[in-house]
Chains A and B, each alone.
Chain A
Amino acid sequence: MSPEHRSEHAHPGTGTYLAVAAVLLIITIVEVGVFYVPAFKPVLAPVLLTLSAVKFGLVVMFYMHLRFDHALFRLIFTLPLLLALGVSIALMFLFGAFGLGH
């Protein structure tokens, strides 16, 4: 890599990768576990959505190196992601998936 590629340094080491994998694994086990526990039924949706958002963030930040990489990459990923999220919410709102409008 030539010197101007200043984004290419500082990838995390194997230890971090393994730690992230362990956390991902634990969260997945917790998710499946929560799914089978009847007591969690009322809070199932928020709990699961939060857990999967954490997993999403971990993979994107550490495995895709976005935490250490150039701000432009962060921008070029985060903006469409937020747009997709907005479109998703808007579509569900428009088509009455939240029990409104129909």
Chain B
Amino acid sequence: MTHAAAHYTSTGLDNKKLAFWAFIGSECLLFGSLISTYLVYKGRSVSGPTPHEILNIPVTSVSTFDLLMSSLAMVLALAAVSRGDKLWARFWLGTTAFLGLVFLGFQYYEFTSFVREGLTIRTNLFGSTFFTLTGTHGAHVAVGVLLLLTLLVRSFQGKLGPEKAINVEVTGLYWHFVDVVWIVIFTVVYLLQ
């Protein structure tokens, strides 16, 4: 991160961005297999609680909305950094990180209430696959929040000018990917019970 981003590459593409796209490609397979595992074992739990007994659609709809809006804040942050607008860059980066934290808070609430209602990762196939899938997604959100806060600190240190916009762009790629994974999870896990 400390050396200049723009240097010659044989593809003519920024190698950081290429690496991030390749990483996101491999993440497709990770989440693809976790979602498939969830679907393969859907409806095969021998004991409850089952998805439609426990999943809280209104609350999750709000957290889905929250994550979608964080993606909007993220693209606005990238636009602000690219045009060298420090104030708005900090505002939108902070907003994105904050919305990410809110999402994690929703997930904390969801997980603890599920445990209270008797669904843990050990309870049944639904519990195992559900917590593995959404927990992995939550861990990705947490890493994304760390990245965003790092960018925010770099901005306050005066080290996030337009020449470093690529760092914001790749963080954005990651963040939007985490968002689209949630789009799929929300539909497949929560709405298609």
Contact = CB atoms under 8 A, between A and B. Distances in A.
**Direct touch of chains A and B (CB < 8 A):** yes
A2 B72 CA distance: 28
B61 A28 contact: yes
Contacts of B72: 17-18, 20-21, 63
Interface size class, chain B: 35 or more
A8 to B, nearest CB: 7
B153 interface: no
A101 to B, nearest CB: 12
Could you say which interface size class chain A belongs to? 35 or more
A83 to B, nearest CB: 7
Nearest to A93: B40
Interface string B164-193: 001000001100110110011011100110
A84 B31 contact: yes
A49 B82 CA distance: 35
A17 B177 CA distance: 16
A88 B35 contact: yes
A95 B40 CA distance: 7
B166 to A, nearest CB: 8
A49 B79 CA distance: 31
A48 B192 contact: yes
Given A1-B6, A45-B192, A80-B26, A32 B11 contact: no
A80 B22 CA distance: 9
Contacts of A14: 76, 79
11 contacts: A1-B163, A11-B82, A14-B79, A55-B183, A63-B74, A64-B172, A64-B176, A87-B36, A88-B32, A92-B36, A92-B39
Given A25-B68, A88-B33, 6 more contacts: A5-B6, A7-B12, A17-B72, A55-B180, A77-B24, A79-B25
Interface of B: 6-9, 11-14, 17-18, 21-22, 24-26, 28-29, 31-33, 35-37, 39-40, 42, 57, 61, 64-65, 68-69, 71-72, 74-76, 78-79, 82, 163, 166, 172-173, 176-177, 179-180, 183-184, 186-188, 191-192
